Amino acid sequence: MRILVFGSNGLVGSNVKNVLLETSYECLFSSRKDTDLFDLNSTLETIKKFQPNIIINCAARVGGINANDKNRTIFLLENLKINMNIFESIMGLDPIKVINLGSSCIYPLDALNPISESSIMSGKLEPTNSAYAMAKLTAIELGNSIKKEFGHNVINLMPTNLYGKYDNFSKEDSHVIPGLIYRMHDAKINSQKKFSVWGTGTPLREFLNAMDFAKSILFIIENNINDDLLNIGSNEEVSIKELASIIKKTINYEGEIIFDEEMPDGNPRKLLDSTKIFDYGWKPEIKLEQGLKEAYEWFKSN
């Protein structure tokens, strides 16, 4: 088994790499150093040279609410280019299994919770990340077309909100967990008495440790699961207010947490229905409190 991982230096890719290194599979962990995924020829060259049985596409331009909304054009363009070049590269090749990573933001703003795979394309998208979501939706449609027309086995995985070691920790452009950790750690170091969190704190979110997600990918490979679309979640919800409180305890920040209600909340609730993958036999192992401690320790060390 030859497995090619694109985007192997990011949050998901790094965890996938650590999981696959414990197996006997022959793997190529690709990054920007060896492959320009914005260039079709570079992408095709890497695939032809390694001749993988499986491609895991972890490559993406990602960010939180602020980054998604203020960089809409670049998020749409770059994610479209990455997926277009990977899929176009394999069109004329022998059948390859492609595990393509999407995002739960592909589902409509008003989708019924828990959100099942059948909710795709059933309503309007959440406006702050609709550009990123459209890129991911286009990749799903492209993958399905490649599968039908050229015989490649394409599986689209829709993870819930991921976090963990190797995440992108930034004050402004991160997802909620690394952003809160970075800013609250900074507030602690600078003895700030108050810490502001965007929104009302009431939205409910589901989080999954990236190592658990990486293990789900290995589970899918080893159990030859071939669903077109598959949600991967933890089936546990927490409010942003509760999350901030847990992070406060993890970091040992002693100031007051306040909520800036003039800033956007995003989707009020987003819980995935992960019944399909659970029924196959996969379940997450890392509880939120444990995962946050590990993520914070990694952040401090890096």
Residues with Cβ within 8 Å of residue 238, at least 6 apart in sequence: 204, 205, 206, 207, 246, 288
- DSSP secondary structure string for all residues of 69-134: HHTHHHHHHHHHHHHHHHHHHHTTSSP-EEEEE--GGGS-TTPPSSBPGGGTTSSPPPGGGHHHHH
| Cα–Cα separations (whole angstroms), residue 142 to 60, 83, 137, 154 | 16, 8, 9, 10
Which residues lie across from 6 on neighbouring strands?
A: 57
Of the residues 107, 132, 166, 296, only one is catalytic, namely 132
Cβ pair 157, 100 in contact under 8 A = yes
- Within 10 Å of residue 276's Cβ, how many Cβ atoms? 16
Look up 132 and say whether it is catalytic: yes
Cβ pair 81, 186 in contact under 8 A = no
Question: What DSSP state is assigned to residue 28?
Answer: E
| DSSP H/E element including 7 | none
Task: State the catalytic residues.
Answer: 132
